[in-house]
A and B are shown apart, each in its own frame.
Chain A
C-alpha cells in the first residue's frame, strides 16, 4: 500500500512488459475506489492503473459497475444525486476527488462519449465548436472544427452541410460527431461508455477503426458489452464482476491477448467462454 503523498508518476522500469501490452507510465491510477448510490454499495475496492496512449477496455456482466467506475474518472458521478465516491483517483499524480479540484477542469482534460449518441440540437458546426468556445479556444474555429471532424472520420460526410442540425445525421454519424465534439476540447483522456451499443455493425466497425487511429494521440478507456469489440480494439482489458455481496469489483486486469487466451481467474474464463453472464 503506497501512502506517500505527493504522488509523482515515477517511470516504472522494473515492470516486466507482457506480450502485447507493454506497460507505459500510468496516466490514471485508481486506489481503493468505492462507490455508493444512497445505501447501495455499487462498486467496492477497485485498484487499477491506466497507461498513457493506449486503449483499455472494461468488460463484464451487466450491473458490475464498469460504467460507474468510468463515470468516476471524470467526476460525472457528481451529477447523480446520492452518489458517493471514496478512494483516490490520480490523474498525472493529482487526486481529482480532492475538494479543491474543480470537476469542470477535470472534464476538460478527460472527455466523455456516451452510450446513446447525444448531439446538441444545434448545427453540426456548433456541435463541435461549442465545447471549444466555452473552454476559451482562441484560434481559427473553422479550421479547428474541420480538423476535429476529419480526425473523427466524419468530415467527408458532413462538409457540405455544416449548418444543418446534428440531429439529422444517422446514429453512427451522430456518435462520430460526439467524438469530434470531445476531440474539440483537446482532451488528454477519452472515456467511452458503450459507444457502439446503439449502432449497427457497419457504424460499429467505423467507430472501432476510429478508436485505433486515435490511440496514438489519446489515452482511451472504453466500456463495452461486446467481448469481440474489446478483443479487436483494446491493448489491455479489465474484467469486472460482482462479488458475493453483489457489489461490483475488479476481477482481473491484463493485456487483452492474455485475458482472452490465458485468464488467470476462473471467473474471467467462465465469462469469456460464455459460461456465465
Chain B
C-alpha cells in the first residue's frame, strides 16, 4: 500500500519510471523489528540467569548471614564456624597482588607504549602478553609453586599467594594500562614537547595523569577477578583451616573462595548454608571493589578533561 503511494509519488512528480526500484519498506521495517526482539531476548536471558544465580545463593544463605559469620574463625562445628580469617586473607592477597601488578604493569605499559620502537621483538612481546591473559589460572598456580614457594623459599605464605595472584592479573593490567595510555590524545603530547619538555616530563606530567583513571579501573577490575580465584591458591597452598588473621606477609593464610570450597565439601548440611552465606559476603566485597573503581575513575577524570 505505502509502496504504491511512494511509487505514484515519484512517477507523478518526476514523470520517471521507477521499475528498477523495489523498496519493500514494510519488509525492511519488519526485519529491523525482528532483530530488535532477538537482541532483547539475549539481554533478558542473561538477566534471568543472573537472577537465578542470586536466588539459588540467597535462598539457602540469607538466614545464615550473621555478624558471627564475619567475625568468627573457622570451626569444625557449623554453629561456631565463621570466615573472619578468610576475609582478612582475601583482603591481604588482593591488596598485595594489586600493588604488585599495578607497579609492574604500569611500568611495562609505559615502556611498551612510550619507549619501545615498533619492531618484530616488541610485537612478539605484545602478542605474548595477550596470550598470557588467556592462560588458565591453575597454570599460574604451578608457576607460583615452583618460583615463589620452592625456588625463592617463601613457603606457603601470604606473600607467595599474593605474588602468584599478582602474576595472574598482570597481563590484564598491562593491556588495560596500555590502552589507557594510548588513548591520551596526540595533541596533548605535542603541546608538551612543543614547550621543550623531555619525554619523561611529558609522561610524568601529562600522559600518566590523563591515563590514570583508565589504569586504575583496569587494575581494580583485575583485583576483583583475583578475589574470586581459587585454583592458583589451591596450588600454592592457601591453607584450608587457619584459625587466626594473618599478621604479616610470611604467615599462612586462607581466602574466601577456599573457605567456600572447603565448606561445600563437608558432610553436615549446615555447612552448605554457610557456604551460600559466604558467597553473599564475597559478592558484597566484589561489589564494593567495583564501586571503588567507579568512584576513583569519576574522581580522576573530573580533574583532567580534554
Binding site for B on A (CB under 8 A): 74, 76, 79, 81, 104-105, 107-108, 111-114, 116, 118-122, 130-131, 134-135, 165, 167, 178, 181-182, 185
Chain A: minimal CB distance from B92 (Å)? 36
Residues of chain B contacted by A181 (CB below 8 angstroms): 191, 195
Indicate the member of A76, A118, A167 with the most B CB atoms within 10 Å.
A118
In the complex with contacts A118-B188, A120-B188, A112-B303 CB distance below 8 A? no
B190, A114: Cβ atoms closer than 8 Å = yes
Residue ID in chain A nearest B195 by CB atoms? A131
Residues of chain A contacted by B118 (CB below 8 angstroms): 81
Residue ID in chain A nearest B204 by CB atoms? A134
In the complex with contacts A114-B187, A116-B187, A130-B205, A121-B195 CB distance below 8 A? no
Pick 10 A–B contacts, CB within 8 A, sort by A.
A76-B194, A81-B118, A104-B196, A114-B194, A121-B188, A121-B209, A121-B306, A134-B201, A167-B306, A181-B191
Chain B: minimal CB distance from A177 (Å)? 11
Q: Give the 9 A-B CB pairs with smallest separation, nearest first.
A: A108-B196, A121-B304, A131-B195, A118-B187, A112-B194, A107-B196, A118-B191, A121-B306, A134-B201
Question: 1/0 per position for B194-225, CB-CB distance to A under 8 A?
Answer: 11111001000110011000000000000000
Distance, CA A114 to CA B185, complexed state (A): 14
Residues of chain A contacted by B209 (CB below 8 angstroms): 121
Known: A134-B198, A134-B205, A181-B191; 5 extra A-B contacts, CB below 8 A, are A112-B190, A121-B188, A130-B195, A135-B195, A185-B195
Residues of chain B contacted by A131 (CB below 8 angstroms): 195-197
A79, B196: Cβ atoms closer than 8 Å = no
Distance, CA A121 to CA B192, complexed state (A): 12
Distance, CA A120 to CA B196, complexed state (A): 15
Q: What range describes how many residues of B lie at the interface? A: 20 to 34
Residues of chain B contacted by A120 (CB below 8 angstroms): 188, 191-192, 206
Residues of chain B contacted by A107 (CB below 8 angstroms): 193-196
Residue ID in chain B nearest A167 by CB atoms? B305
A165, B201: Cβ atoms closer than 8 Å = no
Residue ID in chain A nearest B303 by CB atoms? A121
B188, A134: Cβ atoms closer than 8 Å = no
Residues of chain B contacted by A134 (CB below 8 angstroms): 195-198, 201, 205
Chain A: minimal CB distance from B183 (Å)? 13
Cβ of B245 within 8 Å of any chain A Cβ, yes or no, is no
B191, A79: Cβ atoms closer than 8 Å = no
Residue ID in chain A nearest B194 by CB atoms? A112
Chain A: minimal CB distance from B100 (Å)? 30
Question: 1/0 per position for B84-98, CB-CB distance to A under 8 A?
Answer: 000000000000000
Chain A: minimal CB distance from B56 (Å)? 47
Distance, CA A104 to CA B198, complexed state (A): 6
Cβ of B189 within 8 Å of any chain A Cβ, yes or no, is yes
Indicate the member of A116, A120, A135, A165 with the most B CB atoms within 10 Å.
A120
Chain A: minimal CB distance from B255 (Å)? 40
Residue ID in chain A nearest B192 by CB atoms? A120
Distance, CA A167 to CA B304, complexed state (A): 9
Indicate the member of B189, B193, B201, B205 with the most A CB atoms within 10 Å.
B193
